[in-house]
Structure 1
Amino acid sequence: MNTPTLTKVWDLPLRVFHWLLVIGFFVAYLTEDELLDIHVWAGYLVFGLLVFRLVWGFIGNRYARFASFLCSPMASIAYIKDVVALKPKRYLGHNPAGAAMIVLLLASLLMTVLTGFAVYGADQGAGPLASIGPANEDLWEELHELFANLTVALVVLHIAGVAVESFIHKENLAKAMVHGNKKPLDE
């Protein structure tokens, strides 16, 4: 039996980013008010990871660079229609639906972190927005929860998309995000 040739797609920094982001976000989400120090530090971790990902989107390997996968919303919608028809093109890097998901997740996570900074500043007088004052604390809290819950919904959609793509293309994409390798396009 031939061992399939694999192509390195996801480099180590991107994979470490991905899994640390999963851990950081869910630690923050699950600790909330009960363990505020842990919640805050997990939020700082998520913020640092987002800054890293923005930089890595310009200097990372070919598949990590935004220029290699960002596309129009219409291309993402067309790709999703192909998925529904069970005839999507296979991509070695991110597909157009994955590209849209990356943008949505990064934006939602950034808004979650920024509104979290505002809540922490308004409620505790601490953090990068310590001077924000308590005037709009309830508004910041509502926005923070809205974006955190939106992020959870996007994560669920992301996992569903990974499962569907893995099934259609007979390739374990979650495993690929662990070891970084995928089947070449010609297989």
Structure 2
Amino acid sequence: MNKIYVWDWFVRLTHWIVAILFLANYFVLPKGSEPHQIAGYIVIGAVVLRLLWGLVTHSPARLSEFKPSIPKALDHIRSVIATGEDDHVGHNPAGAIMIWAMWALILITAFTGWGTQLDAFIHAKWLRETHEIFANITMLAVAVHISAIVVMTRLTHRSYVKGMWFQRKQ
């Protein structure tokens, strides 16, 4: 199936807000600066709103539509390698594991960053180090996510990126 599923506007909006601001915080904005903090707060808000959206929407973006399952993800990967097809609308089983992992990592990164600014933890070196460790793990997950999109696009000849651009359904 090569038809492109285009995510709803809210999913696309929150995806790109999180992606752009996480990358800006990781690569561009000075660590601990006010813009870095504001970007982190916006990321928390965007992820929380996306999770709330996933509770109320009636689309493939609904959280119950892509419950993480390692056995299903492995079966899916084997199937794609064998057939070159991915007929899932929305997240496939491997993508489900990745998105849940990324949401958790992003929230842990953001909340540990927020914690470093609280008076009770302002001098807690362990919390700053935890924040940096989770930022690095999150960046690794981002790299795996992007790599998986490239590999899946090549294996299935289906454009996964187009589903996240602002366009009409095809």
Shorter-chain-normalised TM-score: which range? 0.7 to 0.9
Q: Does 1:10 align with 2:7?
A: yes
**From 124, 128, 140, the counterpart of 2:127:** 140
Q: Secondary structure at the match of 1:92?
A: coil
2:141 maps to amino acid: L
2:114 maps to amino acid: F
RMSD: 2.2
Structure 2: tracts of 5 or more residues without a match = none
Residues 131-170 of structure 1 aligned to structure 2 (within 5 Å) = 132-134=120-122, 137-170=124-157
Residues 90-129 of structure 1 aligned to structure 2 (within 5 Å) = 90-121=87-118, 125=119
8 Å CA contact 2:86, 2:156 repeated in 1: no
Larger radius of gyration: 1
Residue in structure 1 matched with residue 40 of structure 2 by the alignment: 43
Per chain length, whose mean CA-contact separation is higher, i.e. which structure has more relative contact order (CA < 8 Å, sep 6+)?
2
Residue in structure 1 matched with residue 69 of structure 2 by the alignment: 72
Moved more, 102-111 or 170-179: 170-179
Q: In structure 2, do the counterparts of structure 1 residues 86 and 150 end up closer, same or farther at CA, with 3 Å as the change threshold? A: farther
Residue in structure 1 matched with residue 22 of structure 2 by the alignment: 25
1:181 maps to amino acid: K
Percent identity, aligned pairs only?
32
| CA-to-aligned-CA distance 1:56-76 (integer Å, 9 cap, x gap) | 111124111011121422111
TM-score (norm 1): 0.80
Structure 1: tracts of 5 or more residues without a match = 126-131, 183-187
TM-score (norm 2): 0.88
Moved more, 107-116 or 79-88: 79-88
Q: How many residues align?
A: 167
**Structure 1: how far apart are the matches of 2:72 and 2:30?**
37
**Structure 2: how far apart are the matches of 1:93 and 1:63?**
5
